[in-house]
Structure 1
Amino acid sequence: MSNLQLRIISGVILAAVVLTLTWLGGVPFRFLAVLIAGAVFYEWTRMTRQAPARGLELLPEALMAVLLVALALGVPALTFLALTLAGVVILIAFGVARGTGQWDAAGLAYASLSGFALAYIRGADHAGFLAILFLFAVVWTTDTLAYFVGRAVGGPKLTPAISPGKTWSGAIGGTVAGVVAGVLVVTLAGTGNQGLAGLAALLLSIVSQIGDLFESWVKRRHGAKDSSQLIPGHGGVMDRVDGLVVAALALYVIGSLAASPDSPAQGLFGG
C-alpha cells in the first residue's frame, strides 16, 4: 500500500470518527477532546525533551493527568482554567529551579487549552453542534484551499524561515475560502448574523494559519519533521489539529464574551 493510499484511508476513517462524535456531542465529544489534549501533550514533550523524563521530571505528566481527568469530568470552565493556570505556574517555577527551560509549561498550557476549547464549545446542545461545524468548515476549508491555491498560483513565500512551502497566495486564497465556508454554514443553519459570521470566520481563518505556523516553528526549533507517527500517513495529532485548536480557543473566547464561559456556543448560535 502506497503512502498516499494509507493517507487517504486513515484520513477518511479519522474524519468519520470525528464527525460522528461531533454529532453525538456531550460526553463522547468531551472524551475526544481529552484524547486530543493528551496526544498533543505527548507529542509536544516528545519533540521538546532531549531525553525521556524520570522521577521528578514526570511532574508535567502528573499535572497533565489531573487536567485530563478534570476535562473528562466536565468541571466548570473557570475551575478548569484555574487548574491550568496553577499547573503552568508550578511548571514555570519548577523549570526555573532546575534550569531546564519552560517548554513543559508551554506544552501544558497548549495541550490543555486545546482540549478545553473544543469540549466547551461543543457542549451538549444544538448551538454547540453548529459552532463546531462552523469551526471545522472555516479551518478545514482554509487549510485545503491554502494548499491548492498556493500550489497553483505560487508567488512570494509567507514565512520561508519557518515553513518554506507556504505562500502569500495560498494564505489569502485559504482565508477567502474559509470566510465563504463559514458564512455558508450560518446561512444553511438559518441562525446568526451573516456579517458577524463573516468577520468571525476571517479571524478564525487567520488565527488557524498562525497556529499552523506556530507548530511548524516548534518542529523546526527542535529538528522534527512530524510531531509523531500516531496517525498512519499523516504524522502526528498536532500535525492535523495545529490550526484547529488555536482557532477553537479564539472561538471560545468570542463565545464566552458573548454568553458565558460554560456555554460559549450560546453566544454564537443560541439565537
Structure 2
Amino acid sequence: MSRELTLRVYSAIVMVIVVLAATWFGGLAFRILAGAIGLLVYYEWSSMTKLAERSMRGHAFGWLSLAAIVANMLFGAPDLTVPLFAGLALTAVLPALTGHWSWWQPGGIFYSGLSAIALSAIRGDDQLGLAAMIFVFAVVWSTDILAYFVGRAIGGPKLAPRISPGKTWSGAIGGTVAGVLGGTAVALSFFQSIDLWVPFLAFFLSVSGQIGDLFESFIKRRFGVKDSSHLIPGHGGVMDRVDALVFACFAAFFLAIGFSAVGMGAVDSLGAFFFGF
C-alpha cells in the first residue's frame, strides 16, 4: 500500500470515528463539531477566493462573524443564532453592493455559517435528531459511493462537463436511487413504519447533495485549485469532504422553515419534521 493511500485510509478512519461519536452524543459535542466545520469551511473558502487580498476589513469581518455565530451556537441563546447569522450576512452584503468588498465575502459568511447552523439544527439534542442525522449521512454517502461506481461502470453523457468533467448522468441517477434506498433503509431501522414523505425527502436531499458537489467544483475551477485545502491528509480539504453533506442539510433546513412558514406543520425540531410531518 502506497504512503498516500495509507494516509487516506487512516484519515478516513479518524474522520468516521469523530463524526459518528459526536453524532451519537449529540448536544454540545455535535455543536462543537458543526462549529469547527463552519470555521474550517470559511478558512478554505476565504483562501480559495483570496478574500484577504481583496479586502482585509472584509476578511476580518468574516472571521468575526463566524466566531460570533459559532460562539452563540455553542454558549449563547439558540433562538438568536439564525437572526444573528442573517444580520451578519446581510451586513456584509452592503459593502459588496457598493463595490468595496467582493461578493465572495458575504457568500463565504452565508455558506460557512449556514453549514454550522444547519448541521447543528438537524442533529439537535434528542433521539429524533440522531435518526435525522444518520438519515442524512446515509442519503449523502450512498449517493456519493454509488454515483462514483455507476458512473465508472456505465459512463455515458456528462452531467456538467464544464464544471466537473468526470460526472455523468448515469452516475447521478444511480447515486440518487442509492440515496433514496439508503435513506429509506435507515428510517425503517429506527421506526417500524414510515410515511411516503421519507423517500421523497431522501430524493430531494440526494439531488441537493449532488448540486452541492457541483457547486464546490465550480468554485475550484473558477479559482484554479485542485483541492479546497490540504487540511486532511490524503483527502484534500474539509469542503471537499462536506460539500454534498452541507447542501443536503441546507435543503432540509430551508424546506422545514418553508413548510413551517406556510402553516403546514410546526417545526419543533428538524428530526420531528423529517419523520413526523
Partner of 2:68: 66
The code of the aligned residue for 1:68 comes to V
- Distance across 1 between alignment mates of 2:196 and 2:275: 14
Provide the C-alpha distance between the structure 2 equivalents of 1:164 and 1:49, rounded to a whole number of angstroms.
Answer: 25
How far does residue 131 in structure 1 lie from its aligned partner after superposition? 0.2
* Matched residue type, 1:61: W
One-letter amino acid of the counterpart of residue 66, structure 1: A
Unaligned runs of 5+ in 2: none
CA contact (8 A) 1:47 1:222 kept: yes
Determine if contact 2:51/2:58 at 8 Å carries over to the other structure.
no
- Give the Cα–Cα distance (whole angstroms) in 1 for the partners of residues 84 and 32 of structure 2: 18
1:190 & 1:57 partners in 2: Cα distance?
Answer: 46
TM-score (norm 1): 0.93
Shift of 1:189: 1.1
CA contact (8 A) 1:230 1:237 kept: yes
Cα distance change on mapping 1:149 and 1:85 into 2, 3 Å? same
Does residue 103 of structure 1 match 2:109? no
Distance 1:51 1:87, change over 3 A: closer
Deviation at 1:99, TM superposition (A): 3.2
1:177 is matched with which residue? 178
Residues 36-55 of structure 1 correspond to what in structure 2 (within 5 A)? 36-49=37-50, 51-52=52-53, 54-55=56-57
SS state at 1:231 partner:
coil
Q: In terms of mean alpha carbon deviation, does 12-21 or 94-103 score higher? A: 94-103
Aligned AA for 1:143?
D
Describe the SS at the equivalent of 1:235.
coil
Aligned equivalents of 1:233, 1:191: Cα separation in 2: 40
1:134 is matched with which residue?
135
* 1:217 counterpart letter in structure 2: F
Q: 1:264 aligns with which of 263, 266, 270?
A: 270
Distance 1:56 1:92, change over 3 A: closer
SS in 2 for 1:99: coil
Distance 1:85 1:249 in 2: 14
Q: Are 1:227 and 2:258 matched, yes or no?
A: no
Contact 2:46 2:52 in 1 (8 A): no
Letter matched to residue 273 of structure 2: G
Contact 2:51–2:105 (Cα < 8 Å) also in 1: no
Percent pairwise identity:
45
Q: 2:51·2:59 contact (CA, 8 Å) conserved in 1?
A: no
Show the 5 A alignment for 1:4-153.
Answer: 4-49=5-50, 51-52=52-53, 54-55=56-57, 57-73=59-75, 75-77=77-79, 79-153=80-154
Give the superposed CA RMSD. Answer: 1.9
Match of 1:217 in 2: 218
Q: Write out per-residue CA displacement over residues 171-192 of structure 1, whole angstroms, 9 at most, x where no aligned residue.
A: 0000000100011011111256
Distance 1:73 1:270, change over 3 A: farther
Kindly state the Cα deviation for residue 250 of structure 1 after the two structures are TM-superposed.
1.4
Contact kept, 8 Å, 2:163 with 2:221, in 1: the verdict is yes
1:11-66 deviation per Cα after TM superposition (whole angstroms, max 9, x unaligned): 01101110011000000000000000000111000000165564564122112211
State the aligned residue count. 270
Aligned-pair CA distance for 1:81: 1.8
2:142–2:179 CA contact under 8 A, matched in 1: yes
The CA deviation at 1:266 is 1.5
Unaligned runs of 5+ in 1: none
Please report how far the alpha carbon of residue 74 of structure 1 lies from its aligned counterpart in structure 2 after TM superposition.
5.5
> Structure 1 residues 184, 81: CA separation in 2 closer, same or farther (over 3 Å shift)?
same
2: CA distance, partners of 1:159 / 1:69: 38
Deviation, 1:253, is: 3.0
Q: TM-score of the superposition, structure 2-length normalised? A: 0.91
- Is the Cα–Cα contact under 8 Å of residues 120 and 262 in structure 1 kept in the other structure? no
AA partner of residue 67 (structure 2): A
SS in 2 for 1:265: helix
